[in-house]
Amino acid sequence: MAVRRFDKLLIANRGEIACRIMRTAKRMGLSSVAVFSDADRDAMHAVLADEAIRIGPPPPKESYLNIEAVLDAAGKSGAGAIHPGYGFLSENADFAQACADAGLLFVGPSADTIRLMGSKSAAKALMQAAGIPIVPGYHERAQDLATLREAAERIGYPVLIKASAGGGGRGMRLVNNGGEFTEALASARREAMAAFDDDQVLIEKYLARPRHIVVQVFGDNHGNMVSLFERECSLQRRHQKVVEEALSVAVTPARRAEMSATARAAAQAVNYLGAGTVEFIADASGFYFIEMNTRLQVEHPVTEMITGLDLVEWQLRVASGEALPLKQQEARANGHAIEARIYAEDADKGFLPSTGVIRHWREPAGEGIRVDTGFRCGDAVTPYYDALLAKLIVWAPDRPQAIERMVHALHGFKIAGVTTNLRFLQVLLDHPQVARGDIDVGFIEREISALTAQAAPMRAIDMAAACAAVILHEQEEQGAQRDDSPWNRTDGWTLAGRRSRRLSFREDTHRYDAILWYGRDGLSMEFEEITAPLRWSEREPQSFDVILGDASERATATWSGRDLDLVTPHGRFALAWLDPFAADMQEAAAGSRIVAPMPGTVTRILAQPGTDLPRGAPLLVLEAMKMEHTLRAPADGRLTALKCAVGDFVQEGAELAEFEPADTSP
Ligand code: ADP
């Protein structure tokens, strides 16, 4: 095939992956075109590109998933090729076809291959025919309840129901016994329909404690197929990868050779072109094909770190018709790489996605450290898209050193303004079982309480930091000069003769109270049993050192109204400052209002007004950041009114329903 050159590449994506693709494009002398939605007008990917074109409003359906708008942008810019990244349109066969029809190079396999591999059922049938080992299961067309139930019984419980069109763990349900089958099937179908517009399912034997191991493959137009080792992807939560490694400690050289050859055979069976990933689940008994991803994977950097290759460059070269630059026997793996996915989410609150403006951002740097991100300080994390803030990738000569480097780098990563899973990742990478490599896909779920232990109570030094944060905040609001000493201040409260002041905070159900004393020797703080001199000095906006007696620490404080997001070496505290001077200090009467915990779309209403409900009964489902959140009755009582409808996009704090707790007084 003739080589087809292009000099302008449109990237139909956003965030870290768009930025990462642009880096390679730039190095190869290509000019890059970004597309952006209204929510991403100032986003990093739009700014980094040589050209940026608006493609629509924030909801993905109207922008990043809008094929016409993306092709329009390509036409306007004169781009010769489109890289879809991952997610969005990357595995959309219609899009690949539309690109081809418009005379554009699609950086990925053909529409036919995408369509074929997009159906887990069809892919399994094909792989089975090609002699690739697959998990025992049912992947035929017939979808009636009796057939599916019979198949589950034949396979033997426990089984997994999977959406055939699935991805990201959606539409997947574990069924332990026949009694659970009907309901699990209905809910898997519902989720699959909502997510993929297709409710076909397959059924698989559920393996106990398997590992998830994937092999990177590459095919070109010249008949070459190369595999680039495996990635260990067993550290998952809700079937979504959290930490990935290359290579896997569980794979012996003999098994590596076998898995790699199987992956190449699987890719060859579909004449695969470009970058792909053959995914296996594996246990002591063997390894089994589960699916093939026809795109660049989120975790591709770990493969890049151990091979020294640039997979995006390979993609672009193969797409333009060049042969793969390496022969199979020339591929080498060196050292060990780990990737951790940093999300805007609150691990201690059920991994609730967090939105907001990033007020502070500091990345770790140094030998063997790579950060892939699309965010910087001042950017907003919106509810429209995936909450992945950054990928932190480390390399070291061996696994123990890589883990050590990762833990260190995670500690050096500072993000304020939105809640992140950084602390969760630190604890995870510090876990002795992770150090031993003794992991499987259920590990995180089983260890969740050890990994997310409720935030530790504030220590005196943390309370001191909270007090310092209040005073710095007041000074800033009043435009006063920053100064350590309250005696230099000219604002109201010391002049008014007050010699002490109570500062109170609430975190969930805890309340913390401290008293600040102003004496001749300066300021001191009384908290629980301790009274000690208190001082601080500001380092940079929002970041300061606080000194209480002999103790000191560095803290970061971010305000939003009277909510203080305080990060200290002991943890992160989401505090509400109970300001006695604020008019609306009264805490809202609990119970009667059901409010949106985050911005999102109401996708289902599960209870009707006028119904009596037990505590915990589902009321409605809110979809935010690609996840479903069920809001439940806060107590036994009655739903008195609904204030939203299916399809409504609601803001955080919006009232969705009224609920009247049952009268429990005697
Ligand atoms: P998706 O495409 O939705 O991500 P996959 O088929 O790739 O779904 O599976 C995702 C995860 O689900 C796997 O990484 C593994 O944790 C779990 N899983 C999948 N199949 C099985 C199985 N047969 N037995 C046990 N766990 C499985």
Q: Identify the band that residue 86 occupies on the pLDDT scale cut at 50, 70 and 90.
A: very high
Same domain? For 267 and 416 the reply is yes
**Three-class secondary structure of residue 112 per DSSP:** helix
Identify which has the larger pLDDT, 316 or 347: 316
Give yes or no for residue 319 having a pLDDT over 80. Answer: yes
Same domain? For 347 and 420 the reply is yes
Q: What are the tokens at 197?
A: 């517009």
Ranked by mean pLDDT, the top range of 191-205, 209-223, 344-358, 541-555 is 209-223
Report the alpha-carbon distance of residue 407 to residue 405 in Å, rounded.
6
What pLDDT score was predicted for residue 453?
60
Count the Cβ atoms, other than its own, within 10 Å of residue 475: 17
Q: Does residue 28 belong to any structural domain of this protein? A: yes
| Bridge partners for 395 per DSSP | 337
Distance 293 CA to ligand 1 centre (A): 13
DSSP per residue over 590-620, as a string?
Answer: SSSEEE-SSSEEEEEE---TT-EE-TT-EEE
Ligand 1: residue of 175, 209, 290, 627 to mutate (most ligand atoms within 8 A of CB) is 290
Report the alpha-carbon distance of residue 180 to residue 638 in Å, rounded.
29
Same domain? For 272 and 225 the reply is yes
Distance 461 CA to ligand 1 centre (A): 45
Binding site membership of 158 for ligand 1 (Cβ less than 6 Å): no
Same domain? For 420 and 468 the reply is no
Lowest mean per-residue pLDDT among 94-103, 373-382, 420-429, 609-618: 609-618
Give yes or no for residue 589 having a pLDDT over 70. Answer: no
CATH code: domain of residue 311: 3.30.470.20
Give yes or no for residue 588 having a pLDDT over 80. Answer: no
Give yes or no for residue 665 having a pLDDT over 60. Answer: no
Give yes or no for residue 480 having a pLDDT over 80. Answer: no
Same domain? For 329 and 426 the reply is yes
Q: Is there a catalytic annotation at residue 615?
A: no
CATH code: domain of residue 649: 2.40.50.100
Report the alpha-carbon distance of residue 558 to residue 97 in Å, rounded.
47
Binding site membership of 237 for ligand 1 (Cβ less than 6 Å): no
What pLDDT score was predicted for residue 440?
96
Identify which has the larger pLDDT, 4 or 123: 123
What pLDDT score was predicted for residue 101?
97
Give yes or no for residue 631 having a pLDDT over 90. Answer: no
Task: Give how many domains the chain has, as a whole number.
Answer: 5
Lowest mean per-residue pLDDT among 320-329, 382-391, 518-527: 518-527
C-alpha dihedral (269, 270, 275, 281), degrees to nearest 10: -60
CATH code: domain of residue 466: 3.30.700
Q: Does residue 634 belong to any structural domain of this protein? A: yes
Q: Does residue 358 belong to any structural domain of this protein? A: yes
Residues 84 and 107 sit within 8 Å (Cβ to Cβ): yes
What pLDDT score was predicted for residue 474?
80
Q: What percent of the chain has pLDDT over 90?
A: 67
Mean local confidence (pLDDT), 642-654: 86
Binding site membership of 175 for ligand 1 (Cβ less than 6 Å): no
Mean local confidence (pLDDT), 495-523: 76
Q: Does residue 176 belong to any structural domain of this protein? A: yes
pLDDT tens profile 428-450: 999 999 999 999 999 999 888 78
Quick one: DSSP state of residue 155? Answer: H
Lowest mean per-residue pLDDT among 41-45, 97-101, 234-238, 474-478: 474-478
Amino acid at 353: P
Which listed residue (295, 341, 370, 405) is catalytic? 295
Q: What percent of the chain has pLDDT over 70?
A: 92
Report the alpha-carbon distance of residue 210 to residue 280 in Å, rounded.
10
Q: Does residue 502 belong to any structural domain of this protein? A: yes
Mean local confidence (pLDDT), 256-260: 97
Report the alpha-carbon distance of residue 52 to residue 390 in Å, rounded.
22
Binding site membership of 207 for ligand 1 (Cβ less than 6 Å): yes
Domain span holding position 157: 136-205
Report the alpha-carbon distance of residue 484 to residue 163 in Å, rounded.
60
Q: Identify the band that residue 33 occupies on the pLDDT scale cut at 50, 70 and 90.
A: very high
Mean pLDDT estimate for the chain: 89
What pLDDT score was predicted for residue 530?
83
pLDDT tens profile 129-188: 999 999 999 999 999 999 999 999 999 999 999 999 988 788 899 999 999 999 899 989
What pLDDT score was predicted for residue 488?
41
The closest residue, in CA terms, to atom 22 on ligand 1 is 206
Same domain? For 417 and 518 the reply is no
Four-residue CA torsion sign, 450, 455, 457, 461: positive
Q: Does residue 514 belong to any structural domain of this protein? A: yes
Count the Cβ atoms, other than its own, within 10 Å of residue 646: 11
Same domain? For 255 and 154 the reply is no
| Contacts of 431-437 spanning 24+ positions with Cβ under 8 A | 434/235, 434/403, 435/400, 435/403, 437/249, 437/250, 437/399
Q: Is the pTM here over 0.85, yes or no?
A: no
Closest CA to 100 of 119, 76, 82: 82
What pLDDT score was predicted for residue 499?
67
The closest residue, in CA terms, to atom 10 on ligand 1 is 239
Residues 570 and 631 sit within 8 Å (Cβ to Cβ): no
Name residues whose C-beta falls within 8 Å of residue 666's C-beta, 6 or more positions apart in sequence. Answer: none
Report the alpha-carbon distance of residue 81 to residue 362 in Å, rounded.
34
Q: Does residue 162 belong to any structural domain of this protein? A: yes
What pLDDT score was predicted for residue 628?
66
Binding site membership of 282 for ligand 1 (Cβ less than 6 Å): no
Ligand 1: residue of 441, 443, 444, 446 to mutate (most ligand atoms within 8 A of CB) is 441
Identify which has the larger pLDDT, 489 or 106: 106
Same domain? For 272 and 352 the reply is yes
What pLDDT score was predicted for residue 490?
34
**Three-class secondary structure of residue 431 per DSSP:** coil
Q: Identify the band that residue 238 occupies on the pLDDT scale cut at 50, 70 and 90.
A: confident
Name residues whose C-beta falls within 8 Å of residue 349's C-beta, 6 or more positions apart in sequence. Answer: none
Same domain? For 618 and 572 the reply is no
Residue 46: CA atoms inside 13 Å, Cβ hemisphere, count?
14
Mean local confidence (pLDDT), 455-472: 88
Report the alpha-carbon distance of residue 299 to residue 248 in Å, rounded.
14
Binding site membership of 124 for ligand 1 (Cβ less than 6 Å): no
Distance 239 CA to ligand 1 centre (A): 6
Q: Identify the band that residue 452 occupies on the pLDDT scale cut at 50, 70 and 90.
A: confident
Closest CA to 563 of 482, 480, 507: 507
Same domain? For 154 and 45 the reply is no
User: Final residue of a domain: which of 383, 417, 451?
Assistant: 451
DSSP per residue over 237-266, as a string?
Answer: ETTEEEEEEES-TT--HHHHHHHHHHHHHH
Same domain? For 29 and 91 the reply is yes
β-pair type (600-605, 649-650): antiparallel
Give yes or no for residue 664 having a pLDDT over 70. Answer: no
Same domain? For 354 and 297 the reply is yes
What pLDDT score was predicted for residue 584?
32
Q: Does residue 444 belong to any structural domain of this protein? A: yes
